[in-house]
Amino acid sequence: MKRIVLLGASGSIGSQTIDVVLHHKDEFSIVAVSVGKNIEKLKMLLAKIPSIQHVCVADEQVKEVLRLEYPDKQWYSGDEGLQALAGLAEYDIFVDAVVGFRGLLPALTAIANHKVIALANKESLVAGGPLVKAALAKHQVPLYPIDSEHSAIFQCLQGNTHDSIDKLIITASGGSFRDLTREQLQDVSVEAALHHPNWNMGGRITIDSATMMNKGFEVIEAHYLFDIPYEKIDVLIHRESAIHSMVQFQDHAIIAQIGTADMRLPIQYALSYPQRLKMYNDEPFDFGKFATLHFEPASMERYPLLKLAFEVGKKGGNLGAIMNAADEEAVRLFLNKKIAFLDIETSVIKAVEGVRFIAEPTLQDIIESDAAARRFVKDMWKGAME
């Protein structure tokens, strides 16, 4: 029985993680969860999963109310609460499914606590890749990716040596606006941006998919996860999202991982590795429904944030933290209808250019760079927020 601490239980990845666990009750149990403000979802979880003993919510006052309602549970709040869950002794796997920079410190805490890491929080590696890698090496802790693209690469690499890799090929759907020109993007709505053609995801990741910032994050993640230079990472637009990523080897053989657009597969693989468990309540991939598959290179001119991510990754330092924080703030402003869609790109690019670069940042430098980038974007659009 593997005991799980799940951060981000009310989100898309968190909900699907719970589905996997409930279908494999002999394999997994959840001992702790965090949610943000979705208290109704939390109450449903507590009723359904009695093994949950530790709970973190966003708000301190809400925590105190819930403590009276559920006196048999241990309650926590805020970012300190997330780290407290990561620091618990009585669990085996840490599932980091929160969205944003707040996932980094709990991940580092769980690594120092010698827990297996199942990572869905991109920002941990984008903002703090060298710190996470150093911590994993120091504490001899395994990290298994939950992102479908990185899980695909991880699966393709099984039984192959690192030195046999020629390149990684990361696929991308192209997002909500893949058929629009740059000119047509000028006045797109929030509602249209949130309509992803292939996947059902949360707000920020859906917008990041439309700008391809998400794919840029995945390039940086792949660099750290698989120790591959950026020159050996390609991005292909693949509309059907049937092939989740590929590995080309030095003999030019290519191995691809194919499956339905169901995030439970990579979640379950990360939790059960090296086993493969039965998948329930899904439809197996049907080749008859995919008469053709399409691929095209991802244009750096069409997707300037993807180009930026390669540049940021190669330069390193604190730029990943700056880029991520600026994107978080810009996407928040767009979702709140304060700025236009293309203003997201402008915000991120200008923040990367304008916030102080630190070549070898400490954890404190990363935290301060994150805050500085957020201030930069807020100041940039101060008039729009008033």
Letter for the amino acid at 60? E
149 marked among binding-site residues: yes
User: Per the annotation, does 38 bind a ligand?
Assistant: yes
Question: How far is residue 296 from each of residues 109, 170, 240, 293, 380, measured CA to CA in Å?
Answer: 40, 12, 12, 10, 35
Q: Binding residue per annotation — 198? A: no
299 annotated among ligand-binding-site residues: no
121: annotated binding-site residue?
Answer: yes
DSSP per residue over 44-79, as a string?
A: HHHHH-TT--EEEES-HHHHHHHHHH-TTSEEEEHH
Report whether 289 belongs to an annotated binding site: no
The answer to whether 251 is a known ligand-binding residue is no
Question: Is residue 233 a known part of a binding site?
Answer: no
Strands (E), the chain: 2-7, 28-34, 54-57, 74-77, 93-96, 116-119, 143-145, 165-172, 233-237, 243-249, 254-258, 296-297
245 assigned binding-site residue = no
Contacts of 161 (CB under 8 A, 6+ apart): none
Question: Which residues lie below 8 Å from residue 24, measured CB to CB, with a gap of 6+?
Answer: 268, 272, 277
Residues constituting the chain:
386
Assigned token pair, 255: 């191995």
What is the pairing mode between strands 243-249 and 233-237?
Answer: unpaired
* Residue 202 annotated in ligand binding: yes
Q: Compute CA distances 295 → 169, 201, 220, whole Å.
A: 11, 23, 22
Q: Judge whether 214 is annotated as a binding position.
A: yes
218 is in an annotated binding site: yes
Crossing angle of helices 213-226/319-335, nearest 10°? 150
Q: Please tell me whether 174 is known to bind a ligand.
A: no
> Whole-angstrom Cα distance, residue 262 to residue 15?
12
Residue 237 assigned as binding residue = no
- Is position 77 annotated in a ligand binding site? no
Determine whether the annotation assigns residue 350 to a binding site: no
- Sign of the dihedral defined by the CA atoms of residues 292, 297, 302, 304, in that order: positive
Cβ-contact 144, 119 below 8 angstroms:
yes
* Residues 261 and 168 sit within 8 Å (Cβ to Cβ): no
C-alpha 254/C-alpha 119 separation (Å) is 25
Amino acid at 371: A
Q: Residue 266 and residue 244: Cα distance in Å, rounded?
A: 10
d(CA 206, CA 214): 8
215 is in an annotated binding site: yes
Q: What residues are designated binding site for NADPH?
A: 11-13, 36-38, 121, 123, 202
Q: What residues are designated binding site for Mn(2+)?
A: 147, 149, 218
Q: What residues are designated binding site for 1-deoxy-D-xylulose 5-phosphate?
A: 122, 148-149, 173, 196, 209, 214-215, 218
Q: What residues are designated binding site?
A: 11-13, 36-38, 121-123, 147-149, 173, 196, 202, 209, 214-215, 218
